[in-house]
Structure 1
Amino acid sequence: MQRVIEFKKKSWWSGGIDTVALNEKIAALNGDGWQVKSMVANTVAFGRVDSYSLLIELQEAKK
């Protein structure tokens, strides 16, 4: 099974994407059996990154 999720959490100091929180989210997804297949930056005016779209896939249990 695959899903697309959007990560938008901003850093309080810089106003940019909170990469520490993004890495924590990816680690939590991995712990729940999801694997990130791809990640794309979503940009706004002048190329500023506003969010990330992640394609995740649920790993089947090994038999």
Structure 2
Amino acid sequence: MPWLMILVLLLALILFGVGFTLKILWVVAAIVLILWLLGFVLRSAGPSGKRGRWYRW
């Protein structure tokens, strides 16, 4: 039954990879949130002296 052992090892490797990827995505999401909040707080004033929109849509 070596194929069973290979299947279990493959499953463990896949689950480890998914867990690692999710942790990386949480870190990236936190960095993006911090940058977004900094951009919201530190946005520059427009030519008229008042703050413009904080989004570009």
Q: Which band: TM-score by shorter chain?
A: 0.3 to 0.5
Using the size of structure 1 for normalisation, the TM-score is 0.31
Q: Which has the higher strand share?
A: 1
Q: Which has the higher helix share?
A: 2
The structure whose RCO (Cα within 8 Å, separation 6+) is larger is 1
The higher radius of gyration belongs to: 2
